Structure formats: C-alpha cells, structure tokens
Structure 1
Amino acid sequence: MSRALGLALGWLLDQALGDPRRWHPVAGFGSAASSLEKRTYAGSRVNGAAHVALLVTSTTVLGVAVERATRRHRSAHTLVTAAATWAVLGGRSLTREASTIDGQLRRGDLDAARVQVRNLVGRETSALEADEVARACIESLAENTSDAVVAPLLWGGLLGVPGLLGYRAVNTLDAMVGHRNERYREFGWAAARLDDVVNWIPARVAAALTLVSSGSRGRAAHARDAIRRDAPAHPSPNGGVVEAAFAGVLGVRLGGSNTYDGRSEDRGTLGDGPAAGVQDIARGSRLAQRVSAGSLALAVAVVVAVEALSARGRPRRRR
C-alpha cells in the first residue's frame, strides 16, 4: 500500500504548501521543453508529434526507473510517490489564486483582479468587468480541478510514479503549445489531442465527483441536466463537461464569449441559473476542495483494486 500512502501524503503536502515558488520541477520541465522546441519547431504536425513523443516518453521512462528502484523498499517508494504527487498537483495553488481574486474584487480593486486572473486563464482580461473576472475564475476552478488534481491522482493510482510524471508532461505541453494560434496550430496539434485523450475519463470522473459533492439531489440533477444539454456545445470535449457540472451544482450560468489573441470565441452557455458573480467564487473554491478530497479517496480505491488484481494474477507459492 506504499503507493496509496504516497498519494495521500503528496495530496496533504499540496494542501498544506501548494506549489513551491522557486525550483518547481514542472517549471524545470517547461524550461527543458522550451529549449528542445528551438530544435524541433516547424509548422508541421510531424515535428510537433516528435516533440511531444520525446518529452513524454523520456519523462515516463524516468518515472518507470524511479518506480523500479524503490518498489521493494516501502518507505522509499512511499516518499518518492509522495514527492511526485506533490510536484504534479496544483489544487492548493488554484484555490489560493481564487481566494486572492475574490479578495481583490470584494475590495473593488478590479485592475488587480484583471491581472491576477491571468495566472488562471488564457483569455484577454484587460477589459473584463468584475462578474466576468469572477466567471473566468470559476471556470478555471472547474477545469483545473480536473486537470491538476483529479487526473493526476487517477493516473497515479493506476500507474504510480510513471503515471504521475507522464500525465503532467502531457498536460504541461498542452498548456505550452496546444494553442490554435498561427505558431502552434500545426505544431501543437499532437499535444492538444493527446491531452484530450488522457483527460477524457478523468474529466467525466471529475464531473461525477462534482455531483456527489453537491450535497443536494436537486443541485445534482441540475448539474446532470447542464452536462447533457450544454457540454456538447463547448469547444473542449473535457472542459465543458466539468464546467457544466460546476455551473449546475452552483446554480449559476458559465460560458459565453471570450477573446483570445484579438479573436472572439463563443464557448456556449453552461447552466441555466443567473450569471456567475463575485459572490460565487468562494462557493466554487469550496466545491473544488470537496472534489479534490473525493478524487484522493477514489485514487486510493484504484490502488487497492489494481493491487488486488495483481495479487490474483500472481502464482501462489508452494509450501
């Protein structure tokens, strides 16, 4: 059970400490990816796929090596798994950013909130009104709770350290190059599609955990309706599912038009309540924290199931 214990310890470290401000391993991976991009970049899907394959494979192989080196030593394996889990999770930093934005908006410091929310979203924020900043924050809480908490925990529960590191490599590359702008439309295609694949199940698990965390059958029913009705119109096959679930549980309306690189994009409407506002950020953060805790419990259950299946498949020793 060293894997389960390591996941739990890593989750607790993330909740207590958040991301380190300096020498973050994910930032180091990003720097390495940027350096490699100078050699691999071309406006081609083939080059982009090679870029992704090299980085994801090397990171996953590192995880396999670490897993094998520590697997027979429970304490070491627990500590390594905990360190990897802490490195790849982003739940505490996400809710910390949301809390900062909430405070800025409540104080009436809209300019500061417009700048702060750029840490969470890629849309243009300089002209957003307070409620639009709040909407951006809540949408990021939803999508990033799935991407930065639920997904890594599930992949870690299933595959251990290789799953944790490999997933974070895929998700980080999507954030770096998986854009639809002129530079990355072709080169970033593989990163974006691979991220869609590895997040397809976790996003739906995150949506289910959101419903379970609602505390009300009525809110859960609203969320199910929002997912069925509204998520298909969202441009992301995964983000729309989780954002619709959050919208339904919170009883608010998310989605609408966003501006990216001077281009307006209609992302559909999610939920049928009143438009999300400043007063909903704290509620969204609490919901994200409940989903995070639920995902840890589920990841531990996955570990138990994987180890039980593995034990069943091993031949019994003769006495």
Structure 2
Amino acid sequence: MSIWSERARSRAAGVAAGVLLDALIADPRAGHPVALFGRAAAGVERRLYGDARPNGVLHVLVCVGGATGIGLAAERVRHPVAHAALTAAATWAVLGGTTLAREGAYLAGALEGGDLARARARLPHLCGRDPSALEAPELARATVESLAENTSDAVVAPLFWGALAGVPGLLAYRAINTLDAMVGHRSPRYERFGWAAARLDDVANFVPAQITGLLTVAAAPDRRRALAVLARDGHRHPSPNAGRCEAAFAGALDVTLGGVNVYAGRTEHRPEMGDGRKPEVRDIRRAVRLTRVVSLAAAGLAVAAAWSLGRRR
C-alpha cells in the first residue's frame, strides 16, 4: 500500500472517529481547546491592537499561523494509528454539532414550558443579538436562524476543511472562525482591526455555506420549495454565507426568516427569506432535527472525500 493510500485511510478514520467523539462527549464546560485558543488570541490582541487594518492583519497572521503550524506538525506524523488519533482529536476539538443541537433543544424546552427568562438567558449561547426584550416568537426565530447559520460554521465548514487539508485545515478553520467571533463584528473598536478576520472568515466559509444550503435542500420534505427559496433569497442576507444557510432552512421548514435584530443597542433590518409563516416555538425542534440530518450527511461526505482525495494523490 502506498503512503498516500495509507494516509487517506488514517485521515478518513480520524475524521469519522472525531465525529463520533463529538456525538459522545460534545464540548466540555471547562478547558476546551477552542477556549484556550481564544484566551491566547486575546493575549495577542492586547499586544498588537491598533485602530488600523494592518494591526488586524498581523493579529490574524500570528493566531491563524500558529494554529496552522501545530496542524502541520501533526500532519507530518507518519504512523497511521497516531495520525488517525491526532486527526480524531482535532476533529473533535473543532466540531460543535452536538452542542449546537443541544442548545437548540434546551431553548425549545424552555419556551415550550413558557419560561421566557430561562430562554432569554440561554440565547447568547447561540447568537449575539440582545434577548432582553424578545418574546417567544422572536426567540424562536433567533434560534432557528442561529441553528441554520451555525450548522455551517460548527459542522459543515470544519469537516470540509478537514477532508480537504487534514489537521492543518481543521485547526486553521477553527482559528479563523473564532477570531471572527472575537473581533470580526462591527463596533467602534473592531471596525478596522477586525476587518481581516471578518473577510478571511467569509472566504473560509464560502464553499461550506453552499454545501450546507444544498444538503439542507436534500433533507427538506419539499426539495423543490427549499431549492427555490435558496436560489431566490440566499443572496439577500448581509452575510454572503449566512444567507444561503438561512434561506435553505426557511424553505425546508416552510417559514419566513429575517426581520429586525438588535445587537448591543444596534438595530439591523434583515431582508425576509421564505414564503411561509413566521417561526413558532414548535419549529425549533424541527430545526434541530434538520441540523442533525444535515450534520450527519456532511460527516458522511467528509469521510468519503478524505478517503477519495488521499487515494487520488
């Protein structure tokens, strides 16, 4: 057996094992590798911060470069069992599908029980909008939209980059996505410093978002309707990637997403996507099931792609 065939087997096995670990263990409450990276990135930010794009570019280069370097070192391990184990550990560390579905189910349970206070307190685990004045319908919409977008960010995108580039791809993607969450949002502090992180995240998520949209269409009860909404509305969102995911979910669930969102006192008016009614509390569990189906399909594709790409090399 050639070294490339052996490497393909170990990468595919590692990705599969990492997906299984995420399903069994999910994210620990303390000491998660991504949280450790976040603390390190915050330390680098304190040293490099300046209200200018070059400072943000340097911040991204140091943080993403460091994560990628660790991944390259792991990828050089030749023993197939060790390589598979490292790939599994990296895959588990960067995936968030199980936690995402659990957060959605938690919010569904809180709202089904009429506990708005508990739901409002939990929403920041999924998204950055201000929940303090949201009633049940808006909390439901926020949850469904967050499940749609994060199905790509937390599952499809890391699996895509893991299948394509192994451990370096897994760690580099999670570093990019974490930096975007930390500094890529619009605010007086990060308008220029966070520009590089936000644009790099857009690039890293472009193909995975398209894949997420198509997998969502494939999992929809009415595929024709879901595809029509994706094609018509996917480009209307301010984000070049989130819109594909949310439009596909809107079509698959036959609801209308979008509207007014409030982020720390800043109000944004998002175009509406879909032709159905506004989301209701009962739609959250439907969105959770859709997230799980899309995640499972993405995992199967990633394992097959890792095997196929390695053998072709």
TM over 0.5: yes
User: In the TM superposition, what whole-angstrom CA distance separates every residue of 1:6-32 from its partner, at most 9, and x where no partner exists?
Assistant: 101110111111101111000000000
Cα deviation code 1:202-226 (max 9, x no counterpart): 0000111111112x3xx21111121
- SS of 2:217's equivalent? helix
119, 128, 152: which one pairs with 2:125? 119
Deviations 1:65-92 (A, max 9, x none): 0110x2x211111111111000000001
Find out whether 1:55 has 2:63 as its counterpart.
yes
2:170 corresponds to 1:151: no
Distance 2:11 2:137 in 1: 42
- Partner residue, 2:37: 29
Q: Partner residue of 1:180?
A: 186
Where does residue 189 of structure 1 map in the other structure? Answer: 195
Distance 1:76 1:205 in 2: 30
Secondary structure in structure 2 of the residue aligned to 1:264: strand
Identity %: 55
The separation in 1 between residues aligned to 2:137 and 2:24, in whole angstroms, is 29
Judge conservation of contact 2:11–2:307 (CA < 8 Å) in 1. no
Q: Does structure 1 residue 298 correspond to structure 2 residue 301?
A: yes
**2: distance between equivalents of 1:300 and 1:120?**
27
2:215 alignment counterpart: 209
Partner Cα distance (1:260, 1:21) in 2: 25
Where does 1:1-319 land on structure 2 (aligned, <5 Å)? 1-68=9-76, 70=77, 72-214=78-220, 216=221, 219-310=222-313
2-structure distance, mates of 1:31, 1:77: 27
Question: Letter of the aligned partner of 1:199 in structure 2?
Answer: N
Q: CA-to-partner distance for each residue in 1:220-269, whole Å, 9 max, x for gaps?
A: 11111212222222100000000000110011111111011212101110
Q: What amino acid does structure 1 have at the position aligned with 2:32?
A: H
RMSD of the TM alignment (CA)? 0.8
Task: Tell me how far apart the structure 1 counterparts of residues 197 and 93 of structure 2 sit (CA, whole Å).
Answer: 21
Letter in 2 for 1:206: T
Counterpart in 2 of 1:315? none
Q: Deviations over 1:165-220 (max 9, x none)?
A: 00000000000000111110100000000000010000000111111112x3xx21
> What is the CA distance between 1:308 and its match in structure 2?
2.4
Alignment: residue pair count: 305
Q: Determine the C-alpha separation between the residues in 2 that align with 1:104 and 1:228.
A: 34
2:258–2:271: 8 Å Cα contact kept in structure 1?
A: yes
The alignment's TM-score, normalised by the length of structure 2, stands at 0.96
* Structure 1 unaligned residues grouped into runs of 5+: 311-319
Offset from partner CA, 1:118-163 (integer Å, 9 cap, x none): 1111111100010110111111111101011000001000110000
Q: For 1:3 and 1:307, locate their aligned partners in 2 and report how far apart those are by CA, in whole Å.
A: 8
- Give unpaired runs (5+ residues) of structure 2: 1-8
8 Å contact kept, 2:247–2:273? yes
